[in-house]
């Protein structure tokens, strides 16, 4: 009765130690999962570069506002 039920997979099965990774999409093998991890790392690096750019622009704007208020 209980053995034939279809289980809904709402969450990733972290107990599975097969070729599938938790971060990989279904149907991807472990080599494609490495590509996905590399893409996540590249996106993280791009986000940090963008954050640095925004911080530099905000510091420059604050500096210009401070200098213009003193003059």
3-state SS, residue 26: coil
Would you state the pLDDT for residue 37?
A: 84
Q: Look-up: residue for tokens 């996540």? A: 40
Residue 24: how many other CB atoms lie within 10 Å:
19
Residue 51: how many other CB atoms lie within 10 Å:
10
Note the pLDDT tens digit of each residue in 19-37.
545 455 556 555 666 687 8
pLDDT beneath 70: ranges in the chain? 1-34
Angle 61-59-56 from CA coordinates, rounded to 5°: 110
């Amino acid at each position: 009765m209980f053995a034939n039920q279809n289980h809904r997979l709402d969450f990733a099965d972290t107990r599975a130690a097969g070729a599938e990774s938790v971060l990989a999409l279904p149907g991807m093998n472990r080599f494609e999962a490495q590509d996905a991890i590399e893409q996540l790392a590249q996106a993280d690096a791009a986000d940090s570069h963008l954050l640095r750019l925004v911080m530099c622009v905000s510091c420059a704007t604050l500096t210009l506002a401070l200098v213009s208020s003193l003059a």
